[in-house]
A and B are shown apart, each in its own frame.
Chain A
Amino acid sequence: ETGVTQSPTHLIKTRGQQVTLRCSSQSGHNTVSWYQQALGQGPQFIFQYYREEENGRGNFPPRFSGLQFPNYSSELNVNALELDDSALYLCASSLERRNGYTFGSGTRLTVV
């Protein structure tokens, strides 16, 4: 049973650019949630995808968007990057939106 894998592990982007982060959910999991974790803080919920549809969203602007594919992998897209978007982006998967999420190791995004 494979866990949650995220790519890339590190990324440096310039302010105003766009970025796509990828997540492969744990085998058998059909729910993916994305979180933003700023340095020294707890994760903040961005949104959740369940069976390819957005199933809840946190307090993030529309330039944060996502997709979930038929194999339940997921993408997080961020447009018009701002310096404050620099953070660790975490993907977590679960089965049928149940609790007990399995987290990936995250993508460290730096915006300069």
Chain B
Amino acid sequence: GENVEQHPSTLSVQEGDSAVIKCTYSDSASNYFPWYKQELGKGPQLIIDIRSNVGEKKDQRIAVTLNKTAKHFSLHITETQPEDSAVYFCAASLMDSNYQLIWGAGTKLIIKP
């Protein structure tokens, strides 16, 4: 079955700098890759997603890139702000498997003032 690995587990960056979180997946048939942000005491919130027919997607300060050949995808956050501090999860989904999301272990992003 699908397996998603996420790195790093913790990332500390200076406010205003960029942050990059990377994920790899094992099932080449996976075709949907969302990123979620989870703040303390809250459920995950979808921040951006990408489908396998697209190589890159951007939404203001957030971008996601997908390399299908290498089976990895990355989240890029530019001009980081204190409110970006949270745990970020990547996930992969195979449309034919009832849209079940397989999640990475999460990255704790710390923005230093």
B-contacting residues of A (Cβ < 8 Å)? Answer: 4, 33, 35, 40-45, 48, 55-56, 58, 90, 92, 94, 97-106
Contacts and interface: CB of A to CB of B under 8 A. Distances in A.
A4 B49 CA distance: 20
Contacts of A45: 100-102
B99 A42 contact: no
Nearest to B90: A42
13 contacts: A4-B43, A41-B106, A42-B89, A42-B103, A48-B99, A56-B97, A90-B43, A94-B99, A100-B49, A101-B101, A103-B44, A104-B43, A105-B41
A56 B100 contact: yes
A71 B100 CA distance: 22
Contacts of B102: 45
Contacts of B32: 99
B49 A90 contact: no
Contacts of B41: 105
Interface SS, B side:
strand
B98 A48 contact: yes
Residue among A48, A56, A101 facing the most chain B CB atoms (10 A cut-off): A101
Nearest to A108: B41
B52 interface: no
B105 A42 contact: yes
**Smallest CB-CB A-B distances: 9 pairs:** A56-B98, A42-B103, A103-B43, A45-B100, A105-B43, A103-B44, A104-B43, A105-B42, A99-B32
B93 interface: yes
A45 B1 CA distance: 13
A66 B32 CA distance: 26
Interface in B2-60: 4, 6, 32, 34, 36, 41-46, 49
B75 to A, nearest CB: 14
A18 B46 CA distance: 32
A98 B99 contact: yes
